[in-house]
Structure 1
Amino acid sequence: DTGTFVLEFYPDAAPVAVDNFIKLINQKFYDGLTFHRKVDAPGLNIIQGGCPEGDGTGGPGWTIVDEHTNPNQRPHVRGTLAMARTSAPDSSGSQFYICLKPQPHLDGDYTTFGGVIQGMDVVDQLSMGDVMTKIRLEAKSKYVKATAE
C-alpha cells in the first residue's frame, strides 16, 4: 500500500470537470486503474492516471469541454489536479494528472480543477503502474480521498 492522499476540488474554476470527476468516482470508474504515466524531466513533472486501457488511449466514452479559459482557473503549482487531454480541444474525459513541481507553462492550456491538500508525500512516491485501489468522496464535501498501491 503506497498510501492515501486527499484532494480538494475547485468548482469555481472548472465546474464541468469537477462534476465529471465526481460522476466517475461515484461510478467507481477509477477503482483498479493505474497511474500509467510519470514524467520527471526538465519542463514536465507529473503523474497521470485515469485511463481504463492503462496506456493513455482510453476514456469513459465521452469528453468534456475545456475550461482553461475560465477566469477562476488556478495555476499549475505543485499538487495541482488537472484534466489530461489530447492535442484536440475538448478531448478530456477521465484522465487526469497531478503536478509534482510547478508547471507554469501549462497554465491557460489545461483545465485545473483541484489540488492535493494532504499526502503530497504519497503522490511523490507514486510510480508508473501503481494502482488506484479506491477513490471516494468525503461525505457531502468538496474533498476526495484516493488510495494507491
Structure 2
Amino acid sequence: MAPKNQARDNREARERLRLYQARQGLHERQRRRRVRDDVVGVVVLVLVAALATGSQLVFAGAQAPARSGASATGTPTPSASATAGNTGKVPSKGIADGRTWTGTLTLNDDVELGFELDGAKAPQAASVEIDLIRKQFYQGTTCHRLADRADFRFLQCGSANGDGTGDAGFEYGPLENVPSDGRYAKGTLAIARGSSPYSQSTQFFIVYGDTTLDGSSGGYTVVGRVTSGLDDLESEITSKGITSAGSDGSGEPEVATKITGATVREAD
C-alpha cells in the first residue's frame, strides 16, 4: 500500500503546487494591472495639466487681465465643469480677519507703490495676497503684461513663470467685490483669472488709468487699491509703452519690470 499512498501524496503535492502557482500568477497579474492603472492615471493627470497650461498660454498672452480667457471686448462664459470649486491648498480666508491691510510693492528697486487690501469686501482674495507676500512668493517675479489703450490701462504681475503661466499650486474662488458696471477706477488692485471664477491664483493687475472690462462672465475681484506711487509707475514704466501690441492693445512692457520687494501688515 505504500506505493499507492506515495503516488497519492505526490499527486496532492503537485496539485497544491499548481494552485499556489495559479494564485501567484493571479496576484502578479493584479499587481501589474494596478501599476498599469497608476501609470495611466499619472499620464492622464500630466495631459490635463499640460492642456491647462496650454490654455493659459493661449489666453494670457493677448487678452484682458486674465490667466486664461478674457478678451478686451468679452469674457468667455465658464462651463459648469470649470466652476466646481477650489483646487489645491488655498490659504484660509480667515487670514485677512475682515480687516484692512496695508503694504508696499516695489518694482525694479525704485518704484514703490503703497496699497491697501480690503479684508472685509474680499476676504478670500485678501487672505491669499497676504499669505503670498508673507511667504515672499512675489520676490523676483515679473510684471509680464501692460495694457496702454484708452480706457484699458493696467499692469499685470505675479505670474510664477514670468510669462503669464504658473501658480502657487492652487486656484480659488469665488469672485468678490466685483464692480457691477465693469468700471475699474484708477488705482484699483484686482485679481486676474481665467474663464472660470475659480481660476484665481497668484496673478493680479494694477489699474493705472480708468478701465472698462466686460463683466459678462462675472468680472474680476477687486482686492484693494493703490494708495501711492502711481505717478512714479507711469513715469518710469507704463509711459514707455510695450514691445509689441496685440489686437487688444496689451503686450510685454518696454521696460522689463520685476517685483523686487513686497510687505504687508494689518492697518492701525
**More strand, by proportion:** 1
**More helix, by proportion:** 2
Unmatched 5+ residue regions in structure 1?
A: 143-149
What does residue 40 of structure 1 align with?
148
Decide whether the 8 Å contact of 1:82 with 1:98 is kept in 2.
yes
What does residue 60 of structure 1 align with?
168
- Alignment counterpart, residue 267 of structure 2, candidates 137, 141, 149: 141
What does residue 4 of structure 1 align with?
112
What does residue 147 of structure 1 align with?
none
Q: Which amino acid aligns with 2:121?
A: A
Does 1:89 find its partner at 2:197? yes
Does 1:116 find its partner at 2:226? yes
Cα distance, 1:69 vs. partner? Answer: 5.8
The alignment's TM-score, normalised by the length of structure 2, stands at: 0.48
Does 1:101 find its partner at 2:212? no
Tell me which moved more, 82-91 or 60-69. Answer: 60-69
Post-superposition, which runs of at least 4 consecutive aligned residues in structure 1 deviate over 3 A?
68-71, 104-108
Cα distance, 1:141 vs. partner? Answer: 2.4
What does residue 31 of structure 1 align with?
139
Q: Which amino acid aligns with 1:113?
A: V
Change (3 A) 1:4 1:116: same
Q: Which amino acid aligns with 1:22?
A: I
Q: Which amino acid aligns with 1:2?
A: D
Cα distance, 1:114 vs. partner? Answer: 0.6
Cα deviations across residues 36-89 of structure 1 (Å, max 9, x unaligned)? 100112442110000011111111110110324669xx9510010000011222
What does residue 146 of structure 1 align with?
none
The alignment's TM-score, normalised by the length of structure 1, stands at: 0.83
Q: Which amino acid aligns with 1:13?
A: K
Q: Which amino acid aligns with 1:119?
A: G
What does residue 21 of structure 1 align with?
129
Cα distance, 1:21 vs. partner? Answer: 0.2
Q: Which amino acid aligns with 1:141?
A: A
- Counting aligned pairs with the same residue, the percent is 32
Larger Rg computed on CA atoms: 2
Decide whether the 8 Å contact of 1:76 with 1:103 is kept in 2.
yes
Unmatched 5+ residue regions in structure 2?
A: 1-108, 239-252
Counterpart-to-counterpart distance in 1, 2:221 and 2:161: 22
Counterpart-to-counterpart distance in 2, 1:121 and 1:111: 24
Change (3 A) 1:75 1:68: farther
CA RMSD after TM alignment: 2.4
Does 1:126 find its partner at 2:234? no
Tell me which moved more, 1-10 or 27-36. Answer: 1-10
Change (3 A) 1:46 1:111: same
Instruction: Report how many aligned residue pairs link the two structures.
Output: 140
